[in-house]
Amino acid sequence: MDFSAVNWLAVIVAAVVAWLFGAVWYMGLSKPWLKAAKLDPATMKKSPLPFVISFIAELLMALVTALIVGAMTGGEPSPVAGLVFGFVLWLGFVATTLSVNHRYEGFGWDLTLIDAGHWLGVLLLIGAVIGWFGAPVVAG
Whether residue 139 lies inside any domain: the answer is no
Within a domain: 3: no
In this structure, is residue 90 part of a structural domain?
Answer: yes
pTM of the model: 0.94
Closest CA to 86 of 52, 50, 131, 140: 131
Closest CA to 51 of 32, 27, 83, 28: 27
Q: Which runs of consecutive H residues, i.e. helices, occur in 29-135?
A: 30-36, 49-72, 79-89, 96-104, 109-133
DSSP state string for 7-56: -HHHHHHHHHHHHHHHHHHHHHTHHHHHHHTT--GGGPPP-SHHHHHHHH
In a domain, 138, yes or no: no
Whole-number Cα distances in Å, 127 to 58, 91, 103, 130 = 12, 14, 28, 5
Determine the Cα–Cα distance for residues 53 and 69; give it in Å rounded to an integer: 24
Give me the chain's average pLDDT, please.
Answer: 95
In a domain, 13, yes or no: yes
pLDDT tens per residue across span 103-120: 999 999 999 999 999 999
Range of the domain at 87: 8-133
In a domain, 94, yes or no: yes
Does the pLDDT at position 89 exceed 70? Answer: yes
- Residue 136's pLDDT is 84
**Is position 66 within any domain?**
yes
Domain count, the chain: 1
